Amino acid sequence: MIRLAVVGTNFITDRLLSALPLSGQFSLTAVYSRSLARAEEYGKAYGASYFYNSLEELAKSSQVDAVYVASPNSFHAAQSIMLLTGKKHVLCEKPAASNAWEWSAMVRAAERNGVVVLEAMRPVFHPGFQVIKDCLLRLGTLRRATFIYCQYSSRYDKFKNGIVENAFDPRLSNSALMDIGCYCVHPLVALFGRPSSILAQSVRLSNGFEGAGTILAAYPQMQAELLYSKISNSKLSSEIQGENGSMLIEGINIPKKVTLCWNQGKQEQISFSFEEQDMCYELNAFAQMIYKEQSPKKWNHWTELELELMDEARKQVGIFFPADSNRQ
């Protein structure tokens, strides 16, 4: 059993811990929070035995094998590198870093210390993603991909009332692209690789925060468009178009339903099953990498491509984070 610690005591950590029993590979051992009282309160509810308000102490702990990092985006790299240097395997919540060079530093730290670093990018570990990959050839020559994820943030109402929470604070490497758009970007590069060029546009809010955006991506034989938002909802499916027909994907962030629509008018729904506590799939993959049953290189390359594309998109629309100035 892999002894797991968590950094962060928010709703996404709740989801991951709810998936632990389905994985069966991890036991929660420790919790880190800036407040020791909060670490104890949160950890005891989940049966943890060790509590930290010092990340240095957590990195040195002999009671922990792996750590799930779910802090604000701007802290991911520094915290992960400290933990990796302490020879802890790290599963880092998406986006894994503020930019591509931070991610490169994280991967180098993992390699130096003989441990695993992995981005917790849920859709590419979900069974539905493998269904998407398996069906691509049936579509014939691919011509267009449209990935859509628009989700009105529960914190946006507070923002409109003058209360800026972390989710709308660009100083923490937050933007609609980083928080929502990454769910479109990562599957794109995982399926089709690096595009030859992109064109990005975005909608900015009063504090400079990017609330929504669109990215057009060019490939030799096809085009892609990525639509994302934290300030509006969309009920539209994502779609991949080929010369034989199209594939409708319900939820590019969690691909729960895949339907093939053929040129002759027939439709074919592809059946597959999945667990509702779907973070178990990334946990299972993480465990396999820790046990050296598979390599993280493919997954980490996808994260590299994701962050490089988002870096270029941010450059085009003028979104810069404090973390971007820390490059050495």
List the chain pLDDT tens, one digit each, 328 residues.
999 999 999 999 999 999 999 999 999 999 999 999 999 999 999 999 999 999 999 999 999 999 999 999 999 999 999 999 999 999 999 999 999 999 999 999 999 999 999 999 999 999 999 999 999 999 999 999 999 999 999 999 999 999 999 899 999 999 999 999 999 999 999 999 999 999 999 999 999 999 999 999 999 999 999 999 999 999 999 999 999 999 999 999 999 999 999 999 999 999 999 999 999 999 999 999 999 999 999 999 999 999 999 999 999 999 999 999 977 5
| Overall fold of domain 124-270 | Dihydrodipicolinate Reductase; domain 2 (3.30.360)
Query: What are the structural domain ranges in the chain?
Result: 124-270
Instruction: Please give the Cα distance from 312 to 319 (Å, whole number).
Output: 10
**Which helix (H) or strand (E) segment is 176 a member of?**
helix 176-176
Residue ranges with strand state E in 183-287? 197-204, 210-218, 223-229, 238-242, 245-250, 257-262, 267-270
What are the C-alpha distances in Å from 18 to residues 10, 22, 42, 278? 13, 8, 13, 10
Instruction: Please give the Cα distance from 317 to 313 (Å, whole number).
Output: 6
Contact 88, 82 (CB under 8 A): no
* DSSP state letter for 236: P
Instruction: Please give the Cα distance from 76 to 84 (Å, whole number).
Output: 12
* DSSP state letter for 245: E
Instruction: Return phi, psi of residue 47, to 5°.
Output: 85, 15
Neighbouring residues of 286: CB distance < 8 A, sequence distance ≥ 6: 66, 89, 91, 116, 118
Three-class secondary structure of residue 274 per DSSP: coil
Tokens, residue 15:
């989801």
Instruction: Please give the Cα distance from 103 to 307 (Å, whole number).
Output: 8
Maximal CA-CA distance, the chain: 63
Residues forming beta bridges with residue 242, ordered by sequence position:
142
Query: What predicted TM-score, i.e. pTM, was given to this entire model?
Result: 0.96
What are the C-alpha distances in Å from 104 to residues 32, 59, 290, 301? 25, 20, 19, 10
